[in-house]
Structure 1
Amino acid sequence: MRNLIYLVLIAICLISCKEQFEDPREEEINEAMENGYLAHEGYTRSMNFVRDWLTYADPQTGLIPRNLSDSKDIWNAKDAAADNYPFMVLTSALLDSNLFHGPMKKILENEIRLTNRLDRLPDTYSFSKKGFETEAINRDELIFGASEYVKDGLLPLTEYIGASAWSARMIDLVDDIWKHAAYDTPFGPIPALNVEVNGELLQVLSRIYWMTGEEKYLNWALRLGDYYLLDNHHPTDDFEVLRLRDHGCEIVSGLCELYIMTAFADEDKKAVYQPAIYRMLDRILEVGTNDDGLFYNQINPQTGEILDEGIADTWGYTYNAYYGVYMLDQHEAYRNAVLKALENLDQYSYFDWERGSADGYADAIESALNLYNREKATKTADWIDSQMQHMWSLQDSAHRSGTEAYRGKGIIEGWHGDGNFARTTLMYCLWKSQGITASPWNKDLYLGAIPKENGVLTTLISETPWKGKIHFDVDRHQKVFRLPLDYPRINQFPEWFTISADKKYQVTFFTRETRQMYTGAELLEGLEINLEQNQQICFAVYPVEN
């Protein structure tokens, strides 16, 4: 029935637009409408995920459990807070403002009030005990949980929604992680010897240094960089085990984010780091990739031995590092490595990422989507579309199988990895709308878009009367993080069509045969739209010369 409605809506849009204008072409309108259908499905699935997980929240605190089986009595930072909750927040921010400003904000307030244990570092909270799960404080565990929460959850959330209570929580956690740095090195104390933690912190510091402008974040990042690149802890010179998948690959991206940061913040240090960065990247390509250019799970970089022949679902997380260095230095070998992997993705359709888990598909799809944003090819887009359909089907099969008595139909696998399903789904939906969103969103609204020359073509239709605003994206890497370069980053929400406040734009409504000029600042306030039932609009936005 839903597909039939969708076909009718496309027909309405095609007829209206074709009668009045030769441009846009029918296939363009068709593609934009199809994208609207896909975005609608993704948003609906994400809202189902949020609403059904909330039915399992602790009644007293509102906190989300770690999972719905053996750990349903606890909330923890490294899983519940890092992977699940932030993408409930982001889904709500996009689709349900009442939920965003109400329950989501309340969860954060309760989390801070109940789980802070070592200054502002959170510890695992037991719902049945109404207190901490363990009596003793484990500083390393607290720092690990906080670093996961920041890098996997609060950092991408901040990049999309900007300054908020969640970004304040992020800064507080980073400051207290470093307040309790207790491992002495020749370069000063660092918070951990865990390579995952330090890789995460390098990514975080490399972004919030620009966001805040505070030198301490640069200095802390350089301390970690010196430890890994100028001492005897180099990932390929000195490690006997280098994990190239999640829970290990973070150090590669983290060091490369630091390298990019030094190009703009400390050129002398960039020159010092460059040989070590290139040795690391070259050696990983030499012994850590298969014939298709994808990464093995784990290698001994010194001997070249493959320790785990599995293929990393987070392959793009590592290639973000290569492409970032390419963008900075124009080292073509690193771009070519990325292109090789993208070209061979069709060999990994319906691949057994993470033993079939939706989490593995989420990471693999995100890997492709973030790089596709920089290297657009139809073959890559087709792979993303097909794999997204498979990942979505896992949400359906969880309920058809009858193996878990989950309430509602939004639960995917019943653990914190469900949040990664929503994270990647939202990334995908924003691609399908070119970053354009509508408020208020509802289940009857379809908004899709395609890029068109240097502009965007958008279609919008609702099965019921709708009145609201269309919102355009901005250069978030500049506006929020103030990054000097929009290099690909782990868990980044890529930018597609963006509006600059100081530019002018022409908006052409094809179904109304009207054109109007707007300043970017006016468009960023939102474009007001009023739709009758099944009324469609089809419009294009282009920047114009001042």
Structure 2
Amino acid sequence: MIKNAFIVLGIIFLMSCRDQDTGFQISEEDERLFAAALKNAELANNGFIRCENYVSAWLKHSDPASGLIPRNIDQSKDFWNAKDAAADNYPFMVLTTFFVDQDLFEGKMIEMLNTEKSITSRVRSLPDTYSFSRKGFLNDDIKMGPIIFGTSEYVKDGLLPLTEWLGQSPWSDRMIEMLHDLSAEVGVASEVNQEGFGKASKEEVNGELLQVLSRIYWMTGEKKFLDWAIKIGDHYLLEGHHPTGDLEYLRLRDHGCELVSGLCELYVSVNYAMPDKKNAYQQPLHYMLDRILEVGRNEDGLFYDGINPQSGEIVHDRIADTWGYTLNGYYSVYLIDKKPEYLEAILKLFSNLHKYQNHDWENNSADGYADAIESALNLYNRVPMPKIADWIDGEMQVMWGMQKADGIIEGWHGDGNFARTTIMYNLWKSKGLYVKPWREDLLLGSEKKGDSLLIVLKSAEPWTGKLYFDKQRYKENMKLPINWPRINQFPEWFTVEPDRTYHVVDLENQSVEMPDGNDMKKGINLAMTGKKKIIVY
């Protein structure tokens, strides 16, 4: 943390019409909130520096010839693959550089995408594992199971989160291209359980497709994507493959829990797009969710890794780090049907989460912590219980402590999830605001006060750039009918409306500007003189 001379610039964004009198009175509550915003700024700055170091460290391990990153830096360092390197690591290198290094974002990250498309596409645009030493595919034969699985992972875990933040981009173009080609290879995944996939793999693939298709339908307006999702939904809810009524094993952690939240996302979509289908799904979907609540949780409301939903047997009694991924589905259905048990499931877990401070998430891995913290952040955004904020802050410190001095976290593709969750955390601390150009000495943090936002920026040296505000990305980027909670999204904390006029009060010079939301999204020019110090009351 920077100790030398600094700038403190306090800005209040007043969301209701006020007099343009610049003599704004600072209350004791405002002082407390500005102090909290400064603390937020310090935490977010720490997070972005850690993400920057992670990218720098991983790029040192990229293949000299292709420029692609390996699956892992020790074992599996001779190949790139879609389900790991592309899905879990590379996308969050892209997102990190969006915030901290525009040149790298527009340069090396795009180059890696173009190279990946040109040398790893094997079945039309669908990627296969690429060997650096062979300078070609790792396997001589085409195996569609791994290609289907790798593509579904790349789209859901990697390209979809980028699209949720960036909107239309070269990465969303890659995603849509692969989805069109994937539709020719799989409808309902049933026989993809090949070597290396694991027991629950077809449920994972189908769940990932449900999540992706339920969102991409709205984004593109192409009904083929909704029809594809409905085909999968019918298979599980109407055709004798019910997750809790027919299956003898249901995994409630990742690599299985995708099916539960995927069916819930489809249910939300058909509620708005095809109400008759929603009515057909309602009873079997509620039955699935009710049965999981009955036999799939411990006494504190957290889910087990795996159960036999028919007998009620707990097959794997470890607590799932991805508990929020499943509860996203419950809250989504609650938004539609207002069934109180589904909100109560979240409240029960939140009431007991303090018992799981410094918990052994996924054998004490950074990836386990990343998924548990994301679980909390996404739901806290909807159900803001104050003590959950303290839990998140504490768990972040544990996860950050796992990063090595060279920037590597654990040296495998899960390192990307460290950056993913750190960026989510940083955006919570800034309430979705960011600056360009970013510098390591430039801090930004915010706190809300009703419909207003109190912001603090701090810099050790003079800085000139732009301050950007978040928008309703669920609506503008994804075109969703409502903002239901989704895995790997970046929650919206403070968003500006395009055509609304805002009042910006700069407490340094007691001035007021009145930009509209479009201007604020494009960025407001700021110049900070490095030797000024402003006290915010």
- TM-score of Structure 1 vs Structure 2, range by shorter chain: over 0.9
The question of whether the paired residues in 2 share the 8 Å contact of 1:57 and 1:64 is answered with yes
Name the SS for the 1:504 alignment partner: coil
Looking at structure 2, the residues matched to 132 and 501 of structure 1 have their Cα atoms a distance apart, in angstroms, of 47
The alignment's C-alpha RMSD in Å is 1.8
Query: How far does the alpha carbon of each residue in 1:205-229 deviate from its partner, in whole angstroms, 9 at most, with x for none?
Result: 0000000000100100110000110
Deviation at 1:275, TM superposition (A): 0.3
Alpha-carbon distance in 2 for matches of 1:102, 1:332: 49
Partner of 1:234: 242
Report deviation, 1:242.
Answer: 0.3
The alpha-carbon distance between structure 1 residues 426 and 538, as it changes in their structure 2 partners (threshold 3 A), is farther
Change (3 A) 1:202 1:133: same
- The farther-off stretch of 515-524 and 218-227 is 515-524
Q: Are the aligned partners of 2:54 and 2:408 in contact in 1 as well (CA < 8 Å)?
A: yes
Contact 2:250 2:309 in 1 (8 A): yes
In 2, Cα distance between the equivalents of 1:534 and 1:231? 70
Q: 1:113 to 1:303 in 2, by over 3 A?
A: same
Pair 1:276 & 2:284 matched: yes
**Superposition deviation, residue 180 in structure 1:** 1.1
- Conserved? CA contact 1:94–1:437, under 8 Å: yes
* Counterpart selection for 2:209 from 171, 185, 201: 201
**Does structure 1 retain, via aligned residues, the 8 Å contact 2:322–2:372?**
yes
Partner of 1:33: 38
Task: Measure how far apart 1:3 and its partner are.
Answer: 6.2
Aligned length: 515
The residue type paired with residue 289 of structure 2 is: L
| Residue 311 to residue 225, structure 1, CA distance change in 2 (3 Å) | same
Superposed counterparts of 1:82-121, under 5 Å? 82-121=87-126
The one-letter code of the counterpart of 1:47 is E
Contact 2:187 2:228 in 1 (8 A): no
> Equivalent pairs: percent with the same residue?
54
1:262 alignment partner, one of 270, 289, 312: 270
Secondary structure at the counterpart of residue 483 of structure 1: coil
Cα distance, 1:538–1:110 mapped onto 2, change above 3 Å: farther
Q: Does 1:522 align with 2:519?
A: yes
The gaps in structure 2 that reach 5 residues or longer are 11-22, 191-199
Q: Find the aligned partners of 1:130 and 1:193 in 2 and give their Cα distance.
A: 29
1:486 aligns to 2:483 (yes or no): yes
User: Is the 8 Å Cα contact of residues 248 and 310 (structure 2) preserved in structure 1?
Assistant: yes
Please say if residues 361 and 368 of structure 2, whose CA atoms lie closer than 8 Å, have aligned partners that are also in contact. yes
Structure 2 distance, partners of 1:168, 1:535, is 45
SS in structure 2 of the partner of residue 194 of structure 1: helix
After superposition, the Cα gap between the structure-2 partners of 1:536 and 1:385, relative to the gap in structure 1 and judged at 3 Å, is: farther
CA distance in 1, matches of 2:419, 2:292: 31
Structure 1 stretches of 4+ with a deviation exceeding 4 A read: 182-185, 536-540
Residue 533 of structure 1: how far off its partner (Å): 1.4
Cα distance in structure 1, aligned partners of 2:248 and 2:104: 48
Structure with more contact order per residue of length (Cα contacts < 8 Å, sep ≥ 6): 2
Q: Which amino acid aligns with 2:316?
A: D
Indicate if the aligned counterparts of 1:65 and 1:80 stay in contact, CA closer than 8 A: yes
Contact 2:324 2:372 in 1 (8 A): yes
TM-score by length of 2: 0.93
Alpha carbons 1:462, 1:535 under 8 Å: kept: no
State how 1:456-495 maps to structure 2 within 5 Å: 456-495=453-492
Shift of 1:539: 9.0
Q: CA separation in 2, counterparts of 1:412 and 1:193? A: 27
The counterpart of 2:445, out of the listed 445, 448, 457, is 448
- Aligned letter for 1:468? G
Question: How far apart are residue 37 of structure 1 and its match?
Answer: 0.3
Secondary structure, aligned partner of 1:129: coil
Matched, 1:299 2:307: yes
Distance change >3 Å, CA 487–CA 536, structure 1 → 2: farther
1:510 maps onto 2:496 in alignment: no
Distance 1:266 1:361, change over 3 A: same
1:57 and 2:53 are equivalent in the alignment: no
Report the 3-state secondary structure (helix = DSSP H, G, I; strand = E; otherwise coil) of the residue aligned with 1:320. Answer: helix
Does residue 1:382 correspond to 2:387, yes or no? no
Q: Distance in 1 between matches of 2:208 and 2:274?
A: 21
Residue matched to 1:439: 436
Which of residues 15, 26, 41 in structure 2 aligns to 1:22? 26
* Uncovered stretches (5+) of structure 1, i.e. residues with no partner: 186-191, 400-408, 541-546
The correspondence of residues 331-346 of structure 1 with structure 2, limited to 5 A, is 331-346=339-354
Secondary structure, counterpart of 2:263 in structure 1? helix
Superposed displacement of residue 193, structure 1: 7.7
Contact 1:75 1:124 (8 Å CA) reproduced = yes
Q: Distance in 1 between matches of 2:189 and 2:62?
A: 41
